[in-house]
Structure formats: C-alpha cells, structure tokens
Structure 1
Amino acid sequence: MKYIKTLLKLGIIAGLLGSIVLTGIYFYIKPDLPSVAILKDVRLQTPMRIYTHDGKLISQYGVKRRIPVTLDETPDLLKKAILATEDNRFYDHFGIDPIGITRAFINLVITGEKSQGASTLTQQLARGFFLTREKTYIRKIKEVFIALHMEAELSKDEIFELYLNKIELGHRSFGFGAAAQVYYGKKLNELNLAQIATLAGLPQAPSVLNPISRPDRSLERRRIVLLRMLDEGYITRQQFDEALNSPVTAKKHGAEIELDAPYLADLIYNEMVELYGKEEAETGGYQVYATADSHMQQAAQRAVKQNLHDYDERHGYRGPVARLWPEEDGKSASGNATTELTDSSVTLCDTPAMYADWPCDITEEQVMMALDNAGAYGFVFPVAVTAVEEQRFVTRDVTGIERAIEWEGMDWARPYISDSRQGEPPKTASDIVSPGDVVYIREMDGQWRLAQLPDVAGAFVALDPKNGAVQAIVGGYSFYQSQFNRATQAKRQVGSNIKPFVYSGALEHGYTVASVINDAPINEWDQATGVAWRPQNSPAEYDGPIRMRVALGKSKNVVSVRLLRGVGLDNTIEHLTRFGLDRADIHRDETVSLGSSSHTPLEIVRGMAVIANGGYLIEPYFIDRVSNEFGEVLWKHNPVVACGECNKDTETTTPVNEEDIDIEALLAAELNQQMAPQGEEEEVIPAPQVISSQNAFLVAEMMRTAVRYNGSYSKKTGWQGTGWRASNILGREDLAGKTGTTNDSRDAWFSGFNRNLVATAWVGFDDMSRQLGRAAYNRPLAARNPERFGWIGNALVGAESGANAAQPAWIRFMQVALDGEPEAPMPVPDDIVRVRIDRTSGKLTRRTDHTTLFEYFLRGTEPTVYVLEDDIDDPAQQDEESVDVEEIF
C-alpha cells in the first residue's frame, strides 16, 4: 500500500509537471501558431484556368496543380482507402490519436529511432498548411496544437475535405483531384481500384512512392494499402487479387488543354494579373471564360498559319535548318548556307553505323541534339533526312518514326534567292535535300510535305461588332517561337485600310456615293522639301472621272488624296479619331489619306466595327466572365453595346477621342455592372454613336463593291473590286471589305465584315525595312490543287499585296465562321433613298439599261439633274472585244 501511495504521488507530480511544461511550451510557441480565423477561412491555392467561351480549356497558370473536389464527389473507395491507410480512427479521435502516439513512443524507446509516425489526418493537414516535414519535437508539438485548434473549429467532414484537396501528392499535384489528372489523365470517378490504392499510398512520401519516379516502391505501397482495405472489410479477396496484379498505368499528364491558344490565353492572363495581382490571380482558383469560341479561335489560328506557309512556299525554299555533317562546299543541296553540327570532316565507310548514305561517326546523340535544337513550332516539326531517292526522300523524327516525302510534297521548293526572286524549279529530290539535312515537315490534306518555319509574320483579330467581344485573336505564327503579339502590340502602316474612314469623312462633308472625282495623276511641288509629291495608283492606271463607289472598290489612291483635299486635313484627322484611332498616331499631312499612319490590327478592326454596327464605337474585350473553383460566377462582363433604341440620347457627330469621352467614368460604370450581385438585371451600357447610321450604311455599301465583281462584262461595264475573291469564294452577298497595301509592300491588310462579325488580317515582316516582295508563277502549287489554289488566281504571280498576302487568311476564317450562318446584310436606315443613276456621270437617268444602276443616297443629297442623252457613255457601243461573263451586279 505504501508503494502504491508513493507511485500515485509521483504520478500526480509528474502529471502536474507535465501540464506545467506543456502549458509553458504552449505559451512559448503560441506566437507562431496560426490564428483561429485563418483556420476558419482556409483557402486552397488553386491555379487559374482559362477556357474558351464554350468551355474548352486553353491554359492553366500557377505552380501548384489543384483540382478541388467536394466530399460528395469523392469515390467512396478512395475515402475508405485513405482512412484505412492513414487514420482509421479519424471519426473517433479529437485530432490526435493516443493509441498511435503510444505505439510510436514504444517503438522509439525500443529502437531509438523515430521510424513510426502517429499523425492523424488532422495533423497531416495542419502540417501541410502551416508546417514542414522535418522530424523535430517542436514541429510535432506545434502540429498537435494546430490539430486541436482545427478539431475545435471545423467539423470532421470539413477537415477530411480539406485533406483531400490540400495534401501534396508529388509532381506538383496538390489534392487527389489533381493527382488523378497528373498520374492518369482522368477524373477521380474514372479511376479503378488499383489506381485509387496507388494514390491513397502517396501521402506518406509522395516523392519516393509515386508510380512515375519509383514504380517499384509504388507497387509495394499499393499492396500495403490494399491489405489495409482488405483487413477492414472495405474490399473483397477477389477485388484485392485483381488490383494487386494490375500493371502500373501511371504516366505524366499535363493540364487537360483542349485547345492551344497561347496568344489569347496570355492576353487574359495579363488582364487578370492587372486586376488581381500575380499571386492572387495564379492561386485564387479563378476559372476565366474568354469571349472567343473554340471553333472560331481554332479557325483563325489555322487560317493564319496556312496563309503564312502559302506565302513562304511562293517565295522559295531557304534550305535545311541544320546539317549533321558539312558538305565540301559548305552548301546544302538548295545552295543556301546551313549550320554545320560537326567540327571536323567525316568520311564514309564500308559499314555505316546508321544509314547507307551516312558517315560512320554520326551518332544517335548528334541526331537527337540537332532535332531538339531545331524545335517544333506551329504546323512544323524537325526531322533528319536519312535517304534521298530520285523524287522521294526518307526522314526520321526524334521519336524514331520514319516518313517518306513524295515528290508532290516537295516540288514547290524552288531555291529562295531573295524576297523578290526564286530559282529554277527542282527536277529531283537531290536538288532540294541531301542525306544529313535537318528539315521541317508538316502534314496537309493527309500528305506529308517539306516545310520551313515562315520568316514572315501575321496577325488576325475577329470580334462581334455589336459589343466588342473578341471572337478570335492570333498574334503570330507560333507563341512559342515569338511571344510578341502583333495583333495588339505591332503598330504598322495600314495602307488603303484607312480609306473607308476617309470616305466616311467625305460623306460627312457633302460628298455622296455617286460623286464623281477625277482619277488622274497628281504632281505637286512641295516648296518646303523641294521635292514634287506624285502619289500614284497601284497599279498605275487612271480612269479619269470616276464615282466614289468605284474609286473605293478599286482603291484609287489619287481619289483618296483629292477627297482629303476637299474635306480638309484637319477635318479628316478629326473624323479618323471617331473610329477610335489615336490622334498621336495619325500623320498630319496628306499621306494620311493613303494609310501612312501606323495602327495595330486590334485598332483597325475596332474602327471597322463602327461601320459594321451602324456607327457605334465599341470597346474590344477578351473576358466574358470569371468564376471561382466551384463554378460560381463572380462577375460577368457588361460591355458597351451598339444599339439604336438605347442610344437615341447619346448620338454624337463630334470627333471621339480621349478628350471627347470620359473613359474613366465609362470603365467605372462598367465595373459597377460587372460587380453587381448575381441575379440583378444588368443595365445596358450604350456605346457612343460616332457617325450616323446612314453614313455607316453608305460606307459599307461602297465596301461591298470592293469584294465582288460589278457590272456586266458582256456589256463592257464590268469591273472587279480589289478584294473580289471574298464573294467569289464565299458565295455570299452580305460581305463588305477593304484591302490594304503599303508602299513597297511592307504591310498587307484585309478587313471585312457582315453585320455580325468583323475581322482584320495583317501580314508583314517583323523587320519593317523588309518588303514582302514578288513571286514568280509556281506551276506545281497552281496545278495540283486548283480547287484550293485556283481562287488565289494571280496571287501566285507578281507583287504581294493585301489581296493575295492577307485576304486568304480572312477568307479561310470566314469559310468556317460563317458556315451555316444565314446572311446578315446591314439594314437600310431611315432617310436612305434609292434612285436610278447614270453609271458614268452619277446623274439621274430615264434609261433602264446597262448604262444605269440603282444607287443609295441620304435623303436630300440625291442628284436632281438628269443626264443628257448626248452625254451618256455606252461601253457596249465601243469596238473593244467583250468578255462573256455572267452579270452579277
């Protein structure tokens, strides 16, 4: 009894001392413990995911991979596997497991090593959120106190759900939702038992137990998990045996990118960073939905890439990107200098190590290095030429796959001499490539073709003219080659793309669509420079007196200059600012009428939208809405809208620029709408009307003639607009557009629209001093695929221009974007009248034959004088041979 009393006293003293020590430790480490408030508001660091408007994932930003799941969404077998392996008494203990702690303590006393853990799920979660994995006593004590805090403030299900989403599971995956995607490319509910057991075994040591880095250890850990599940009765013996014998199926999976649109994703990412800051944007779990639809974005990307390849092939083959050994003359088969990858000369031998035509000392490593250095971009990827036959050559890629390039896939490859000169057409494959060449190839229409990475650059923007929602944007051939976004960052001379805005100004100052201007050369001495200014048409053809509609359709340069002179330079500049063009970028001389000013494709397409939507200046935007990780909409963009009824009080005919519109107030009003509680009806924000609907309609009418055949060739009144291929290929009557080509063909443009969609394409070199040049006729390109190349027509011959360098991208895009869409012509506004006029003079006429046509006018501006019979010019009475072409207009 005496000993029992002594032991009891010692126990009480030990308990008191232990309590005092624990209390002291608690107050010692209390400043380092997280607050209860933080525990109540634990937020997962979830990466930002960017989707197209129709829900296709295009990018993910953030270091940590996380796909949050709720407890209800988690498969029951996974929950049981985790509990059986990590903490089978989770729902019974209060945050720490005394039985587990006792077991670990006994093991420590017996072995002297901390080889067994006693951490509950709550403790693991506390460590994952706030602590490290180092095995120290002070860390363990902090872990216990934090676990007790969490148990006091959170329910068991809340703690378990946080565990499922927070725990680190290797390869930058955090949470089981992300791990399922990283290791198996699946959702949690798609995993089988073997895969579930593999993931459930990861928390103990994700770096050494994961099935990618250490499949052997992963198999053993999976066996342990399955045994624990079998012991607890969670699975049957048959399920155990089947899962135990299943092979390892894990491999590294990237984000589930469904559409690679990096230029669009980068724009949205930068906008989110500007709004929220980098850390919050990347870890806040935002799901950002673009305004662009996946099929339109993909169509734009394909159109730009194919168009640049078309240009590139017209101008000749520049030779291989590298050679695995030098030729005697240091030249490739095509005659162009190449990169040599070996330092010394090599000799052929009787028994080559790799291929019949290869030197013995070319190793597999050299081949792989050359292909890796070349890199894959856009449509193209590098291969090594392993053998060359008469009209065929064989290639091998970095994975070892061999492909044969037939003659039809390489006969386009005339040697490139300069941007304006190409060599003689090749006759055999050896005229083009040699064994050891590292070249690019691409697939087109089911055929492998020799290719090259285009030197020329391009950009494309399409948007909804009614509200500015960007439908597609492409900033270059490949974002991974160049991150410079030419659609939004490259200010380039716009050439004749400026003319619709100039003609709009002329209509505002008394001209009509039927006004006759003299299309004759201008030769004016400039006393300030001592040089005569001689603006010329391109081509240098002059028609004499010509109606404004025809002048715009044929893109007559001297007419544009005469219109500017009639309106006045200052008035013209003021009018250009109405279309959203920055006054600082507009040249203050008469060359502005020819497009000497520089603007981005996004600025130009915004200006064209004013014409397409009836006169309203909209604001382009890329983000439609932002949701949290659970799909709850945080805000939705409420753009300014082009609408007649809602804009009756906002119509203005004054120039629109930074001084005329309170941009800050407009953005503040828009932000208030975006942040309004969900469920409230959004107020329509009217876009300012900067030109009248009548003016916009008349300009669009003139632009319609620029994209079609006009008149009747059989009656000798036929003529074609500079962009005639648009209507010819697309077969629609609701299209309007304008080509644009700058001096020396340094920039090529095409902009066009119908009422629902407006788009701009640009092509040029990043080196602004480099001209797009000329191309000689390439018979293989034209003859082999007439249905594909025939519509390009003389685009295969002569100087590059907006019509043949930029317009094909626009047409290819519109073929997809407008497929199945009903025609959407611009409605005829009030106060627009239509009268019959004489084709030549623009005056009223009493005739109803081919010398006349119906024309639109703003009421009160229609002609009042009839043409005299003696003044009527009837081309059909001339002696020239007529061309029998179907009358279109």
Structure 2
Amino acid sequence: MAVLAIAVGSLSGLMLVYSVNLPQIQDLERYQPDTITELYDVHGRPFGSFALERRVVVDYNSFSPLLRQAVISIEDKNFESHGGVNVFRVLGAIYHDIASKGRAQGASTLTMQLARNLFLSSERTGSRKLQEIFLSLQIEHAFTKEQIFTLYANQIALGHGTFGFEAGARYYFSKHAKDLTLPEAALLAGLPKGPSEFSPISNPDRAFRRRNQVINAMLEDGAITAAQADAARTAPLGLHLEPPPNSIAPWFVEEVRRELERQFGADRVHEAGLKVETTLDLDLQQTANRAVLDGLAAYERRHGWKGRLLNVPAGGLDIHTFRHPDWVETATPDMYMHGLVTGILPYQATVKLGNRDIVLTPESWSWTRFKTAPEFLHLGDIVYVHITGQSGNELSGTLEQDSGAQSSLLAMDNSTGDVLALVGGRDFNLSQFDRATQAERQTGSSFKPYVYTAAVEDGATPGEMILDAPTSFGSYTPHNYEGNFLGAITLERAFADSRNIPALKLAQRVGIHKVIDVTHQFGVTSNIPAFLPVALGSVEINLLEHVASYSVFPNDGIRVAPRLIRKVTTSDGIPLTEPAPEVKEVTSVKTARTMMTLLKSVIAPGGTGADAMALHHPLGGKTGTTSDYTDAWFMGFSPSVTCGVWVGYDNRQSLGDKETGAHAALPIWMDFMRAAIADKPDEHFPGDLSAPLLANTQPASR
C-alpha cells in the first residue's frame, strides 16, 4: 500500500507539473486559425489574396469520404475508437525507441497531432509528450470525433505555404477537397508526415511512393477494393497547380494591400481572413493586360530586332538549373513569357518555358528578317515569347522582343471613381514598380487641358481666334511639333491639332499661376514650377492623378476621387468599412461642357486622336508627347469610363522617332476602350444628344 501510495502521488505530481502550464481547453473552443484575406472584383469573382498561411477553413462534410479515410488509414487507424491516446501504439513506440536506441518511431494520434500543432512546440522530449497526452485527453472529452477531424484537417501543414486540406486541394489540384479522386486524396493524406520530403513538386518520386503507401493502407483497412487500389497506384500524380493568386492584377493587388495595411495593420490583413470587395472588373483587367502587352509588342516590331539578349552561361549560371522569375506561372495560350533557348537547329529553336517547351520556326521570327535561328540565337539566350495557341500538349507562338520599353494603363468609372483596371508595367515578375501610381512622368501635350480650362474660366471660347505664328517669350522661342504655323485659327482647331504656340499664348494671358491653381484644383498634387514651358507639359504627374483629373470633364465639372476598395468585412461577414465616393466640384458645368467641345475635337477629322473614331462611340481625349519622344500618352474617356495610357522607358531614353502619343499609346487605349464601351451602345455625354460619330479620316500624329 505504501508503494502504491507513492506511485499514485508521484503520478499526481507529474500530472500537476506538466499540466499546470497547459492551455485551457476553452482556448480551442474560441480558436480562430489564420486564414486567407480574399479579394473580389465588382462581380464577386475572386482574383487575389494575402496570407501568411494559405488556409481555407471548411466544415467536416467539405472533405471527401475518400480523403477522410485516407488520413485515418495512414495516420490513425483507431481514430474512431480511442480516447485521444492509442496506448498500444505508444507502448510499441517506446519499445521501438529503446530497442533502436533512438526516437524514430512515432505514436501520435490525430488528436495528439492537433494538440501539438495548436499549442505545443515540435521538440521531442518526454515532458512535451506528456503535455501532448494530457491535452489530447481534454480535447477528446470536449469535442466530437467529427469536430476533432475538422480542426485537424483545417490546421495541418501541407507544404508550399498551404495549410489544411481544402487549401492543399486547391493548390495542388485546382479543385475542392470534396471533389478529390482516390489518387489525389491519397497524395494529400501522405503529406503531413513530411510536407517538404514528400512534396509532389520538389520530390515527385518520393511523393509517388508515399501516395501508394497510403493506398496500400486503405486497402489493408478494407476502405477500397483491390481493383481501385491497382488503378490508383498506377495513376500519375496528376498535378494541376493553382495559378499564383495575384497574377491577373498584381499591381492592383499591391495597391489594395498597402491601403488595407494602412487601415487595419499588416497582421490583421494577412491573418484575419478579411473579405475585400474591390472596384476591379476582372474582364476589363484581362483586356488591359492584353492591350498593354500587344501594344508593346507592336512597338518593338516597328523598331526591328535589336538583339542584346542576356545569356545564361555567359552570366556564369547553369543552363540546367536556371529558373526565370516568369516561371512561377504555367505557360498557357495568350501569355507573354521569357524563356530559355535550349536547342537550336537551322530552322527551329526550342525554348523552355518553366516546365513546358515551345518550338519556334521561321514563321515565328519572320519579322526579325533572319532566315535561320543560328544567325541571331544562341544556346542559353533568354528570349521573349508570345504563346498564341496550344494543340494537345504542344504550345505554339511567336518570338517577340523585350527591349525594356514599359507601359501603364489605368481606367476608372466616371460616376463612382472605381478603378476598373490597372496595369503598372510589362512584367510584374521582373519589376514590381507601379508605373501607374508611383511613377511621375512629363505629360507633354496631355497637360494642355488644364491650360485651356484656365482660359475658358477666364472667358475664352472654342470659336475664338488666336494667331499661330512665330513668337518669343523673352529668351524663350518655342515651336510647333510640325515646325510650321497656321496663322489665325480657332481655339478648337488649335486644341485638336495640339498647336504649341496658342497654348503658350493662353497660359501667358491668364498667368501661369492660374494654370497651376487649376491643375491642383483638379487633384494633381505634383509640385509645379511657375514658368511658361509648363503649359506644354514639362511637369511630371502620375497616371492615377492624371486619369482622375480628366474624368472631371465628362462629369460636368465634378471630381470623384479614385478608389480601389468598395467594402471590407470580417470572415464572419461583419462590415469593417464601406467608404463612400469622395465627390468635389472643381469647375463649373459651363466650363466642363466647353472643354468637352475641345476634347471631342481631338477625336474628330483632323484631330491628333482621330484614329479613335473607328470605335464609333462618343469619346474625348488628348494625346501627349514629350521632347525627344521619351514619353507617349493618350488620356481619354467615354461618358462612363476614363482611361489613360503611358508608354516609355524607365531610364527615360527615347522611344524613337515619331513615337508620339497617337502612335505608341493610342492603339493600346483603343484596344481597352473597345471592351469598356461594348455594352454601352446608347450612352452620350451630358447635354450631348448628337448622332454617333462617322467613319475615320486620316489624322495627324502627335
């Protein structure tokens, strides 16, 4: 009895020592795992997310029976019958550890794994194991088996930043956990033992063997038939990786992230599973992506093959282990992607695009004027490819060029300020710098609407005559783009033809300080020096502010501040913020409608943007080109949407002779606006009930 009393006392003391610092079981009842903050477009479609742990919490019935059985068969065969601890398995593990003089044998049940993952460290000591056992017994007492499995299945790490089987199913197979096939369920069930060791991406052979081990365990348990097991064991891994979460609108997502972190803090944004309703229109965003890349490709081809390709071996890298940043995405049709030349024949070049290859033929590079591949390509060259199609598993495409030219595009809804599409550059994987919101570039003639607005507020009218003739302003002697002078012309003609001398005369007449005041009133925050050449656009403005300012004209003088977020709620649907549009009157209706007369004349016969008449829709806008063709702009709008496009180089080198706003930026703008106005055939500007525009005539490029 004395020995028994000592034993009971010792055990009680051990229980007290190792349980005193244990988490309270009530903590698990209130447990909220880190989940994904998801972004939705205006139609409720997900397109982006933030997370430290990519986890999607679902209920018990959202895990397929095959997956539940696979997990139980490989991890805890007696899950349904034990009380949290499998005594025989623990004793067996202890015996194995003693016999092998190590700690190689696991004995954890699903409940013990859950306790460890939620509350304890991963160190392998006796004291931690005792705490794990005590916690497991409490969990089994407080929760049902379904609840325990659900907690485990939503918590477990599965590699590559994914946690829980729902997120794992989406990441590895692009489907929900309830829809997994037997081979897919077995592969996921095998990952908790070693997410890195058995990763089907990093270690496919080990993943294959581990998956089949799970299938064999299910067969031993009678959960599947021998025929099912045979078919599953011979099936390929069948990965269908989910596209990177923020690949469609990466610059937009980054802007939203920065704004959310300012409001709620980084921890809450990345851990709390917020639901963010944004202003993005996914269809228009995809149109914008294509328009920018197609426009840059057309620009590159106009200037011919430049070569100067980076070469992997020449840079001291191994051609077999090299991975380009673009390869985080899977090569699919309609993508532009950098690739690695891995094979060259006279009339064929093989290019690696991540885990896929594409074969280029002379038709693919005919625009370069080279007949054979060895004339201008070498093994290890990094080339730029437009994937145009796919037949079976074979990709087809064309060779393009990336000389470093960049473009940005931003479009917003005139009435709400909602930013509908945003492109910040050519390739987010190579440069995350947002040229739509972070870059300030000289605006060229796209600045002239601010000059003319100041003049209209001072009493000028579209029909007023002004002399376009040689003149000097002190020591400053300007000239027109064409180098000629038209004499006495109307302000409307001067604006449509983007004449420099009339713009400078108007700026001098009203005073450059008045022009600067109007520009700031429209929402431009740039510091603008008070000297006359500012009237021709020698001031730097970012695209976002420029677009918001232009939207004032079709809005009858009202400025609606651009916004990216419409509503933010918690994971439970509780609203956190729902900002209303910020509205401000910046000029009178009369001035705005007078300016509309001028802006519409640009997209009319003889205007610098006359090419846009091909869209057969009410439109207005202004071209912009800076000295030496370093920046090309087109800023324009329909009654409902304002869109701006910029083209240039980050290092401010010239785009090349005659690369004006009408030549370099307007085609991109037209490609986008064609989609933006497609479902608005009957819209018109305020106070304008005129008939649709007629066919296009030959414009002057500026």
TM range (shorter): 0.7 to 0.9
**Structure 1 position 603, deviation (Å):** 0.9
> 2:454 touches 2:515 (CA, 8 Å); kept in 1?
yes
Distance 1:241 1:388, change over 3 A: closer
Give me the whole-angstrom Cα distance separating, in 1, the residues matched to 2:416 and 2:670: 23
Give the partner amino acid of 1:597.
V
Give me the whole-angstrom Cα distance separating, in 1, the residues matched to 2:159 and 2:379: 41
**Structure 1 position 136, deviation (Å):** 1.4
1:23 aligns with 2:36: no
> 1:168 touches 1:203 (CA, 8 Å); kept in 2?
yes
> 2:343 touches 2:351 (CA, 8 Å); kept in 1?
no
Unaligned segments of structure 2, at least 5 residues: 330-334, 390-395, 691-695
Give the partner amino acid of 1:819.
A
Partner of 1:800: 659
CA offsets, 1:713-737, max 9 Å, x none?
A: xxxxxxx10111111x2122x1001
> 1:371 touches 1:438 (CA, 8 Å); kept in 2?
no
Q: What number of residue pairs does the alignment pair up?
A: 677
1:403 aligns with 2:359: yes
**Structure 1 position 457, deviation (Å):** 1.8
Give me the whole-angstrom Cα distance separating, in 2, the residues matched to 1:23 and 1:385: 66
32, 35, 47: which one aligns with 1:46: 35
Distance 1:182 1:571, change over 3 A: closer
Give the partner amino acid of 1:11.
L
Distance 1:640 1:827, change over 3 A: same
For residue 610 of structure 1, give the secondary structure of its aligned residue in structure 2: coil
Of stretches 93-102 and 281-290 in structure 1, the one that deviates more from structure 2 is 93-102
638, 641, 645: which one aligns with 2:579: 638
CA offsets, 1:826-868, max 9 Å, x none?
A: 1219xx9x9xxxxxxxxxxxxxxxxxxxxxxxxxxxxxxxxxx
1:570 aligns with 2:513: yes
CA offsets, 1:129-172, max 9 Å, x none?
A: 12233331111122123334445655554333211100123443
Partner of 1:721: 607
1:62 aligns with 2:55: no
Partner of 1:604: 546
CA offsets, 1:19-50, max 9 Å, x none?
A: 233224434xx2xx334553332221223344
> 1:410 touches 1:449 (CA, 8 Å); kept in 2?
yes
Give me the whole-angstrom Cα distance separating, in 2, the residues matched to 1:722 and 1:109: 86
**Structure 1 position 540, deviation (Å):** 2.5
Partner of 2:693: none
**Structure 1 position 279, deviation (Å):** 3.4
> 1:320 touches 1:438 (CA, 8 Å); kept in 2?
no
Partner of 1:857: none
> 2:348 touches 2:360 (CA, 8 Å); kept in 1?
yes
267, 272, 276: which one aligns with 1:284: 272
For residue 118 of structure 2, give the secondary structure of its aligned residue in structure 1: helix
Give the partner amino acid of 1:280.
R
Give me the whole-angstrom Cα distance separating, in 2, the residues matched to 1:523 and 1:128: 78
CA offsets, 1:68-118, max 9 Å, x none?
A: 221132223333443455445556655445565556566667877656544
Partner of 1:771: 654
Distance 1:773 1:88, change over 3 A: closer
Partner of 2:336: 379
For residue 384 of structure 1, give the secondary structure of its aligned residue in structure 2: strand
Partner of 2:132: 143
Give the partner amino acid of 1:464.
D
Partner of 1:811: 670
Distance 1:317 1:211, change over 3 A: closer
Give me the whole-angstrom Cα distance separating, in 2, the residues matched to 1:12 and 1:177: 50
For residue 585 of structure 1, give the secondary structure of its aligned residue in structure 2: coil
> 1:167 touches 1:175 (CA, 8 Å); kept in 2?
yes
Of stretches 215-224 and 603-612 in structure 1, the one that deviates more from structure 2 is 215-224
**Structure 1 position 229, deviation (Å):** 3.6
636, 648, 652: which one aligns with 1:752: 636
Partner of 1:71: 60
Identical-residue share of aligned pairs (%): 29
Partner of 1:731: 616
For residue 704 of structure 1, give the secondary structure of its aligned residue in structure 2: helix
**Structure 1 position 804, deviation (Å):** 0.6
Give me the whole-angstrom Cα distance separating, in 1, the residues matched to 2:493 and 2:168: 64
> 2:418 touches 2:562 (CA, 8 Å); kept in 1?
yes
Give me the whole-angstrom Cα distance separating, in 1, the residues matched to 2:71 and 2:387: 50
Give 1:658-697 correspondences, 5 Å limit. Answer: 687-697=583-593
Give 1:441-840 correspondences, 5 Å limit. Answer: 441-443=384-386, 448-525=397-474, 532-582=475-525, 585-628=527-570, 632=573, 634-635=575-576, 637-640=578-581, 687-709=583-605, 720-727=606-613, 729-732=614-617, 734-768=618-652, 770-774=653-657, 799-828=658-687
Of stretches 98-107 and 596-605 in structure 1, the one that deviates more from structure 2 is 98-107
Give me the whole-angstrom Cα distance separating, in 2, the residues matched to 1:84 and 1:487: 53
Give me the whole-angstrom Cα distance separating, in 1, the residues matched to 2:387 and 2:213: 48
**Structure 1 position 317, deviation (Å):** 1.8
> 1:536 touches 1:557 (CA, 8 Å); kept in 2?
yes
Unaligned segments of structure 1, at least 5 residues: 1-7, 325-338, 343-364, 414-425, 526-531, 642-686, 710-719, 775-798, 835-883
**Structure 1 position 468, deviation (Å):** 1.2
1:225 aligns with 2:179: no
Give me the whole-angstrom Cα distance separating, in 2, the residues matched to 1:562 and 1:217: 80
Give me the whole-angstrom Cα distance separating, in 2, the residues matched to 1:220 and 1:411: 49
Of stretches 556-565 and 437-446 in structure 1, the one that deviates more from structure 2 is 437-446
Distance 1:523 1:202, change over 3 A: closer
For residue 321 of structure 1, give the secondary structure of its aligned residue in structure 2: coil
1:262 aligns with 2:219: no
CA offsets, 1:761-782, max 9 Å, x none?
A: 11122123x22231xxxxxxxx
Distance 1:192 1:254, change over 3 A: closer
Distance 1:772 1:241, change over 3 A: closer
Give me the whole-angstrom Cα distance separating, in 2, the residues matched to 1:22 and 1:174: 32
Give me the whole-angstrom Cα distance separating, in 2, the residues matched to 1:457 and 1:541: 32
Give the partner amino acid of 1:186.
K
For residue 397 of structure 1, give the secondary structure of its aligned residue in structure 2: strand
> 2:523 touches 2:545 (CA, 8 Å); kept in 1?
yes
Give me the whole-angstrom Cα distance separating, in 2, the residues matched to 1:276 and 1:228: 51
Give the partner amino acid of 2:127.
I
Distance 1:133 1:705, change over 3 A: same
Give 1:355-370 correspondences, 5 Å limit. Answer: 368=320
Distance 1:692 1:138, change over 3 A: same
Give the partner amino acid of 2:601.
T
**Structure 1 position 487, deviation (Å):** 0.7
Give the partner amino acid of 2:362.
E
CA offsets, 1:610-650, max 9 Å, x none?
A: 112221122212223335557x3644643326xxxxxxxxx
Give me the whole-angstrom Cα distance separating, in 2, the residues matched to 1:448 and 1:77: 41
CA offsets, 1:800-830, max 9 Å, x none?
A: 211112111101111222224314221219x
Give the partner amino acid of 2:673.
M
CA offsets, 1:569-607, max 9 Å, x none?
A: 33222222221012x522212222211211001110010
Give me the whole-angstrom Cα distance separating, in 2, the residues matched to 1:160 and 1:763: 55
Give me the whole-angstrom Cα distance separating, in 2, the residues matched to 1:375 and 1:432: 27
1:120 aligns with 2:77: no
Of stretches 13-22 and 118-127 in structure 1, the one that deviates more from structure 2 is 13-22
> TM-score under structure 1 normalisation?
0.69
For the aligned residue pairs, the C-alpha RMSD in angstroms reads 3.5
> TM-score under structure 2 normalisation?
0.86
Give 1:114-263 correspondences, 5 Å limit. Answer: 117-151=106-140, 154=143, 156-208=145-197, 213=203, 214-215=206-207, 217-227=209-219, 229-230=221-222, 235=223, 237=225, 241-242=229-230, 245-251=233-239, 253-255=241-243, 257=245, 260-263=248-251
For residue 135 of structure 1, give the secondary structure of its aligned residue in structure 2: coil
Give the partner amino acid of 1:640.
P
Give me the whole-angstrom Cα distance separating, in 2, the residues matched to 1:430 and 1:87: 59
**Structure 1 position 689, deviation (Å):** 1.2
